[in-house]
Amino acid sequence: MSIENLSSNKSFGGWHKQYSHQSDTLGCVMRFAIYLPPQVASGQKVPVVYWLSGLTCTDENFMQKAGAHRVAAELGIAIVAPDTSPRGDDVANDDGYDLGQGAGFYVNATKSPWNTHYRMYDYVLNELPALVESVFPVTDQRSVAGHSMGGHGALVLALRNPQTYQSVSAFSPISNPVSCPWGKKAFAAYLGNDTGRWAAYDASLLMRKAQKFVPALVDQGDADNFLAEQLRPDALEASAHISGYPLELNLREGYDHSYYFIASFIEDHLRFHGRHLER
């Protein structure tokens, strides 16, 4: 697998690097970022937390704003942050910020024109980890985390693939997309109007029926202006009670939807993943 290094920056004794590669899954050139902690310099292979970002983001938002490198360096954890969608002149797009490029929703689209490129679920689950594990000094131990649309993606990936991930966490996830405007718009475009197909990408519906569990941590700010209409953590919590799912959901007083919120609690999330990756 051929990849091109776009940038390298030393950070807390490790390295933050950006790469591009031709994605067979998405049919376009994709970019991702990786933070390699200092332990890899001595020949140690390290586990990986995959970070999925939200609407309008790229691989850069989390790496530059979250302040995650210090703790990742201490714990010996690599972080991989893919872009949020396929991109390019021949990739379908939309004038809205919540559909098209920058808004892949981590689904495998089945409706034209989106189904030509928009297969972010398969990309994050299969192609990107295979590439990372073949090129970098990492183990096959994985956890997954994300914010907003990416929190939705992280939860869905872990709930559908409990054998693949050691743990999952999310900030302000779109917890019940079949019941919110963002989810309805994206799912109708990408998956069609058969709402039965939507359930496969709804964390609350999946958690309600879960039988195999991946430890889950969710943080939500109570001053988030998207809380009531778009995010619905109450639906996720209700589902966890029904299935007995090991969900820790924290409602954080005064915090909003921004990266100030993520930066405030990212250490808790990385230490949570670190405990489970050590097992």
In the set 11, 23, 143, 148, the catalytic residue is 148
Alpha-carbon distance 35 to 79, whole Å?
A: 5
In the set 16, 69, 257, 273, the catalytic residue is 257
Residue 151's alpha-carbon distances to 8, 10, 57, 146, 209, in angstroms, are 27, 28, 13, 4, 19
Residues sharing a CB contact under 8 Å with residue 153, sequence separation 6 or more, in sequence order: 52, 105, 106, 120, 121, 124, 146
Alpha-carbon distance 225 to 273, whole Å?
A: 28
In the set 83, 175, 224, 276, the catalytic residue is 224
**Over the Cα atoms of the chain, what is R_g?**
17
Told to judge if 148 belongs to the known catalytic residues of this protein, a careful annotator would answer yes
Told to judge if 172 belongs to the known catalytic residues of this protein, a careful annotator would answer no
Alpha-carbon distance 203 to 209, whole Å?
A: 10
Helix (H, G, I), strand (E, B) or coil at 224: coil
Told to judge if 112 belongs to the known catalytic residues of this protein, a careful annotator would answer no
Contact 12, 41 (CB under 8 A): no
DSSP state, residue 111: S
For 222, list phi and psi in degrees, rounded to 5.
-80, -5
Q: Annotated active-site positions, please?
A: 148, 224, 257
